[in-house]
Amino acid sequence: MATVNLSDVAYSVADKWGPAVTKAIKDNDPSDYRALFDDGLIEVVLQGSDGNEVIFGIGDDHPNATLDWECFIEMSRDELKEQDYVKTESLCLGILGPRVIMETGRVNSRDEVYIQSVCMLTLDPASGKIIAYDAFTDPGMSSLRDLAQPAGET
């Protein structure tokens, strides 16, 4: 079985993530976002607003899926539209084997990063598609916020 160059794929996934999420939410077109993921069950661990982990699986016609893709995208779209959401920015922070460490930030209409996450994406070594997604959210992170604000502002 052939494998992909995971370093190249990791940076490509991180570069595509922000625009793909933005397109899914703002243009109601999840095709680019969905294309980043494998067709099988995607294992997801997110940090809930109470700080506890939320574990679920996304998959179309998969017996162990908690949500199908349409439901997941719709729920995400509804949540983000309530937040004055404008876009998502993303940046690859590192690669460890098939895992990508990525930072993401949600930007509002005032061009402020209002929530940030550090994510670990696990890629399938053969296809380079995401097979697992873990996100650790910290509204107090500063790195993407610093990138979004003019020099001298905090």
How do residues 80-108 score in pLDDT, each as one tens digit? 888 889 999 999 999 998 999 999 999 99
Stated pTM of the model: 0.84
**Strands in the chain per DSSP E:** 42-47, 53-58, 85-96, 99-108, 113-123, 130-137
Q: Is residue 90 part of a domain?
A: yes
Amino acid type, 109 = S
Q: Is residue 1 part of a domain?
A: no
pLDDT score at 131: 97
Count of CB atoms situated within 10 Å of the CB of 107: 21
In this predicted model, what pLDDT tens digit does every residue of 48-62 receive, in sequence order? Answer: 767 788 899 999 989
Q: Minimal CA–CA distance to 108: which of 147, 77, 136, 80?
A: 80
Range of the domain at 127: 6-148
Q: Is residue 61 part of a domain?
A: yes
pLDDT score at 149: 47
Helix (H) or strand (E) holding 144: helix 143-148
CATH classification at residue 99: 3.10.450.50
pLDDT score at 141: 52
Q: Is residue 154 part of a domain?
A: no
Domain total for the chain?
Answer: 1
